[in-house]
Structure formats: structure tokens, C-alpha cells
Chains A and B, each alone.
Chain A
Amino acid sequence: MAKILAVDDSVSMRGMVAFTLRGAGHEVAEAENGQLALDMARGSAFDLVLADVNMPVMDGIAMVRELRAMDAYKGVPILMLTTESHTEKKMEGKAAGATGWLVKPFDPEQLLATVKRVLG
């Protein structure tokens, strides 16, 4: 089972993501913005990072950029949770180094399917 970091400023969304993943047996840590996520990522090794795009303090895209600059997170899957249905934000995330994305709204099954996709 994987160690996953869920990053979202929305308590309900983060709660839903964490609850779903924990239900599937994963270990989930939560952060409410990119800055806090970076602090947590420095402290432990996550197998997967799921991050919202729009967040106060540090948004998801800047966070991905910072994570990719860290040796320990060079190849770790990072998925953006985004409502942007146009390609612009996805591409911005990609350019920053994101692995892929999951478009909101998603349901728990879609979340698990996507996580399974990257974790195998």
C-alpha cells in the first residue's frame, strides 16, 4: 500500500480524497496548501502526491515545480486535481512536471482507478 500526500485547500475535497484512499488501504497525509505540502514532502517519502491547482499561499503548479527540484521527488508521480476543463492549466501543470491529472468532479471510483493507474 502506498504513502500518499493529498493537497487541497478545500477541507471537504481533501477529506473525500483522503477518506477514499484510506478506505483502499493507503496511508494518507494531508496538506492545505503547496507550502505545507513541501514541508511535509521534505520530511517523508511519499509514493504519490495528489494536488489541487488553485490554493492560497502556494498553488499546485508552483508546488510541482518545487517538488521536481527536489532529488527525492524527481520521478514520483504527481497528479493534479483540477477543475480546469480547458487544456491551459493542464499544460501549465505538465510543464511544471506533473505526471497527469484528474479532472474534478470525480467520484471515489474514478479517483481509485487513476491512482491505480500510476501506482500499478
Chain B
Amino acid sequence: MATVDLTQFHKTFFEESLEGLDAMEAALLALDSGSTDHELVHTIFRAAHSIKGGAATFGFADVAAFTHVAESLLEEVRSERRGVDAELIDLLLRSVDCLRAMLARSSSGQPAADADSEALRGELLRLASGEAVAAPAAAAPGVASATGWAIRFVALPHLLQTGNDPLRLFRELEQLGRLEVRRAFVLDSAPARLAELDPSQCHLGWELRLHGAVARGDVDAVFDWLDGDCELVIESLPGETSATAADPVAMAAPATAPVPAAAPPPACETATVSAASGEGSSIRVDIDKVDALINMMGELVITQSMLSDIGENFRPSQLERLREGLLQLERTTRELQESVMRIRMLPIGSVFNRFPRLVRDLERKLGKQVRLELHGEHTELDKTVLEKIGDPLVHLVRNAIDHGLELPAQRKAAGKPETGTLRLNAYHEGGNIVVQISDDGAGLNRAAIMAKAQQRGLLGAGEEPSDAEVAELIFQPGFSTAAQATDLSGRGVGMDVVRRNVRDLGGSVGVKSEVGKGSVFTIALPLTLAIIDGLVTAVGEERYIVPLTSIVESLRLGAEAVRRIAGGGEVFHFRGEYLPLMRLHRAFGCADAVTEIERGIVVVIEDAGRRVGLLVDDLLGQQQAVIKSLEKHYRRVQGVSGATILSDGSVALIVDVGGVVRLGLRAKAA
């Protein structure tokens, strides 16, 4: 028989194990916060149990050995022989972390166990009662090779109903040696009349002889499933000796060896894992999404056949139908595109889920009290965005707890509840996904930030920046206000890195803060990285695409509405504030562009709460733009996020809103 290649299931095993660990962690945290729901314990147990089973099956002995110990401990909890306390939860949470690391190592073909995991396994072992964890003793092998066995086998009436069949047993015995049926008999329990016989009941017994050098264990194994379903006496044939004097109905242990838990797992075993199993990424897609896709495909095929029909015998009278068909094609294409995009969309909950744990750890470490609120976990994000937004979010959450929220005593003194609130919220806004991290802490410390900025040379001595400008300072490279770099926030990774990461995803990040009341960090992310809805604008001979999601308004201004300010910048009045005006033709060096304000159009764009007006010649219309990387084909250009090809085949550049707003603000400040 061809052997089954088990490596093909490794990737699924790793994926579901990581999911299991997430569920385990969430349930542990729920228990930690005082829930007494017994289902939580079951969930935790099940996760450990599945990982153990899978790991043993797919050859990850270290992982199986580790989980086995954790499972034994959990079994005690499940059967209420052990209570749940903070210490236990702590230990189990560390086990979750440890297993994640072990799985990661396994998936990259390294030995799963290391010194840490062995130390933790030791801790688990010590806590669990020794007896429960001891590896079940292997079956006493039927070393005795008697020359035969006398077997008296009497079926209990319900035997057939368990799906067992005496014939099967005899067949198996026959494979061990020569089987002789000495006597078969009908039991007294059988009804007297045949008509009363229930075919699902068995009323038979047999006296058998099995001849040959058969180990007792092998005979027991044949009957191993029948405990309680039969009366069984197995004796060595008269005159023969047997070295094992097992109980007549001994429960033979299964043929498979149980995982040796107590023995240190051989670290090299996992090294055989194919390295490729950890590579490549896959995506689990909801079946509804696939169905939607197939639906759309069907419509596309129909439209296509309709159009080719018209094309084959075209008559001018069919113009209306052609137009209709094209319209349908456009609609279906768009829907198909959306459906395809949706396949890459995953709920942000998978990222949010790691925060309860993080918050709990930080609370303990810093002596703060934090209530975490999660909202909008079902908001979906592009998979790539989702994978890359985790680190910036973690950083913001760390910062909020480390720098934002005050210690309980300080909060009390400030007349606030001792427990601070940290809120994570995700929602759609226009074509963006907005993720907000808000806290009700102390807010940004203006004095500390300014002092730091001056020390760093980011701010001149006598300058009095506005609050918004002070907030901007924290995003400057190398900026950090923590007097002492704690091991939480001061990792050399600052807010500038957060901003850069978010920008790399085509998003923006900003902060609003109020002293004593807290801070709100807002991250706006594009729904997808591949396509944007854009407004095509003309600047001289060039075409620039402004992402629709960042446009606040387009308007015509009279020359008198624009004021020149010191330093050469221009501003105009818009809804109660003065916005910098940026002449795109000047910024990008375009020839033959409109230079009079009143002849052009001003497009007001917004990035993370800051607005700038762009002067362009004209608006040409809306269009979806498939983003082509400029960096890949040319080089990074300030103020441009990419390029696209217009329907007439010409190339248009896509305006990098964040970059342009920054350029504009700098000009205003200058």
C-alpha cells in the first residue's frame, strides 16, 4: 500500500493549532476576569487536547509531550479536582506563548523544544499531580508464548448493538493461529420460540481453542473492545504455561504506544519536518464569498454571450441593447472586482484579540488598572493590511497604557475612576477603515514634549507651537518622552515608525489629545492596497489622481480669497480655518498650467485631520485606478504614491495625500 504523506496536513495543523491557542488564551483571560462559565474550561481543554492529538499524529513529539502535561493539568480543572487561580492562569498563559513558539519552530523545521519550553514543562509537571501525568504504563506485553489458549466467550445480548460481530473476532483469532471451535451454545436467555427472537440480540456462546505460539497480549487485543459486552475466560491450554497471569478480561492496552510524557522528548525528531510546510501563506475564505464570486462569474458569462451575439450581426437598431449590455458588463465587472477583493478581507478581530492578553500583562507590570473595550471587531480589512497593522497597533496600545493612563492613585487624585479605559474601535468611513485607540488618561504632556523636542533640536528655543503642532512632534524620528526607557515602550521604536508603517500601507495616523482627559490616536487605512477610487485632475499636460477618500470638497476661489503669508506661503479661508494652498503645478514642476487662482479649481484634501487645498487646472472625472508601484519601476517620489494607466493609455500619477499635506503644512509654517 502506498504510504500517505502526512506533511500535506502540517500546514492545516499549524493553522488550527494557532487558532486553538487564540481561543485558549481568550478563554483563559475570560476566566481571569472572574467568569465562572464552565464552557470556558471545556474550550481550553479542547484546544490543548486537539493540539496534543494532532501533534502526536503528525510527528511533533515535543509539542505533543508539552501539551500532554498541560492537558493533564486542565483535566484536573475540568473534572473539578483543581480550582482556578491567578497562578494557574498565569502558568497556562505562559504555556500558550510557549506553544506558539514551539509551533513556529516546528513549522520552520527546527526542534520545537528548547530550554524555556523544557523549564515550563517542568513547572507544569510539578503543579499537576504526579500520578495524573505519569505516562500510562505500556501494556504488559504478552511475552509468554504458550502453545495455545482455551477461550470461553459468551456474548451478552447487546453485543451486536455495539457494532461488534463475533465473526469478526473469529477471523482475527484465525490470523493469530489455528482456531478450533469446540462448542457453540445457545444461552438460556434466548427466547423459547423463534418468532420471539430479536435479531439485534445475541444469545450465543463459544468454547474456542487457539493453537500456536500466540502471545497472550495478542489474544487480549482481539477482545479489547468487548469489555462489558461479553463474558470472557482465557486460559493457557492444559499443560502449557503462561508467564502472564492477567485478569481474564484484561483491558489490553492499544497497540499504539502512548506518548511518553515523562521522558525528555528527543529534540531531533521534529527536524524531519519539511521546511516548506511553514512557507507560503494561505487564506481561509468564507464559502459565501466564493459563492458570490461564482454568481458574478455566471453573470459575466451571460453578458459576454449577449455582447458577442450583438457583435456578430450588428444593426444600428441594436445600439440600445449594446449600450445596455456594456452597462451590465461594467456593473458586473465592478461587482466581480469587489467580490474578488472581499476574498482578501478578514475581520480585524483577529488582531484585536491579542490585546486582552497584552493589556493584562501591562497592567501587572506597571501596576495600572485598565478596562479594555473592543468595538467593531467584525470590520474587515485587506489581509496584507491586517498583517502589517498589528505591530503599530500594539505599539499604540503599549504607549496608551505606559504613557497615557495614570496610576490608580494619580487617577483618584485627579477625580477619575481608578481604572482607566482603553478603547479600540474599528469602523468604515467612506472608503477607509478607521481604527481608533483612545484612552481616558492624562493626555499628551505639552511641556514634556516641547522640552524633549528642544533637546532634540526639533523645536527652536522661543517657539510656541499650537497643540496640534506639539502633537505632531511625537511622530518625529527619534522622539521619545519616556524619562527612562521602560522595556515596554522604549524599544527604540517610536511613533515615527508607527507612522511610517501606516503610511506604507497607504494610510495615515494622527492624534488628538486633551490634557487630563486623554488621547485619541486615529489610523485611517485604505480598504485595499491594489485599487483606489480617484478623481482625475488636469495640471497642465499632466494628469494627477487624487484619492477620492481624502477629498473634502472642490471649489472655485476668487483671487481675493487667497492671502500670502510671511515666508511666501499662501492660505485661504475654508469653513472657519485657514488652510495652506498648494499649487500642484509648482510642487510638481508642470509646464503650461493654470496659474490664476480664479481660473483653476481648489481641491481640499485631508490627511489625519489636517487639510490642504490643491490648485489644479480642472477636474476630469472619477476613475478607479489600479495602483502601479512607482518605486518598483522608477524610484520613490515625494508627494506621489504611485502611478496608474488611464483609459486612453496615458500614465497618471497618484497623489500621496499624506505627503502632499505635509509639504503644504511645511510651506505654511515656513
A45 contacts chain B at the CB level, 8 A cutoff? no
- Closest approach, in angstroms, between the C-beta of A47 and any C-beta of chain B? 10
Is the CB–CB distance between A105 and B163 below 8 Å?
no
B304 contacts chain A at the CB level, 8 A cutoff? no
- Closest approach, in angstroms, between the C-beta of A32 and any C-beta of chain B? 11
* Given A13-B57, A85-B136, A105-B53: A91 touches B161 (CB 8 Å cut-off): no
Q: In chain B between 86 and 131, which residues have their CB closer than 8 angstroms to a CB of chain A?
A: none
Is the CB–CB distance between A105 and B162 below 8 Å?
no
Q: A94 to chain B: which residues have CB within 8 Å?
A: 162, 225, 227-229
* Given A75-B163, A86-B136, A110-B255: A105 touches B57 (CB 8 Å cut-off): yes
Q: In chain B between 37 and 55, which residues have their CB closer than 8 angstroms to a CB of chain A?
A: 43, 45-46, 49-50, 52-54
- Closest approach, in angstroms, between the C-beta of B159 and any C-beta of chain A? 10
* Given A11-B16, A103-B254: A83 touches B56 (CB 8 Å cut-off): yes
Q: In chain A between 95 and 120, which residues have their CB closer than 8 angstroms to a CB of chain B?
A: 95, 97-110, 112, 117-118, 120
**13 A-B residue pairings within 8 Å (CB atoms):** A9-B50, A12-B54, A12-B58, A13-B57, A54-B45, A54-B50, A75-B163, A87-B251, A94-B228, A100-B164, A104-B57, A105-B64, A109-B3
Q: In chain B between 196 and 233, which residues have their CB closer than 8 angstroms to a CB of chain A?
A: 200, 224-225, 227-229
B195 contacts chain A at the CB level, 8 A cutoff? no
* Given A104-B53, A118-B163: A112 touches B1 (CB 8 Å cut-off): yes
The 8 Å CB contact of B12, one of A15, A95, A97, A120, is A15
- Closest approach, in angstroms, between the C-beta of A93 and any C-beta of chain B? 10
Q: A112 to chain B: which residues have CB within 8 Å?
A: 1
B172 contacts chain A at the CB level, 8 A cutoff? yes
Interface residue ranges, A against B (CB under 8 Å): 9-13, 15-16, 19-20, 23-24, 52, 54-56, 68, 74-78, 83, 85-87, 91, 94-95, 97-110, 112, 117-118, 120
Closest to A106 in B: B256
Bound-complex Cα distance A112 to B251 (A): 22
- Closest approach, in angstroms, between the C-beta of B117 and any C-beta of chain A? 20
Is the CB–CB distance between A105 and B259 below 8 Å?
yes
Q: A100 to chain B: which residues have CB within 8 Å?
A: 163-164, 224-225
3 closest Cβ contacts across the A-B interface? A100-B225, A105-B56, A99-B163
B13 contacts chain A at the CB level, 8 A cutoff? yes
Contact with A along B255-278 (1 / 0, CB 8 A): 110110000000000000000000
Bound-complex Cα distance A103 to B53 (A): 9
Is the CB–CB distance between B228 and A106 below 8 Å?
no
Closest to B12 in A: A12
Bound-complex Cα distance A97 to B167 (A): 19
- Closest approach, in angstroms, between the C-beta of A68 and any C-beta of chain B? 7
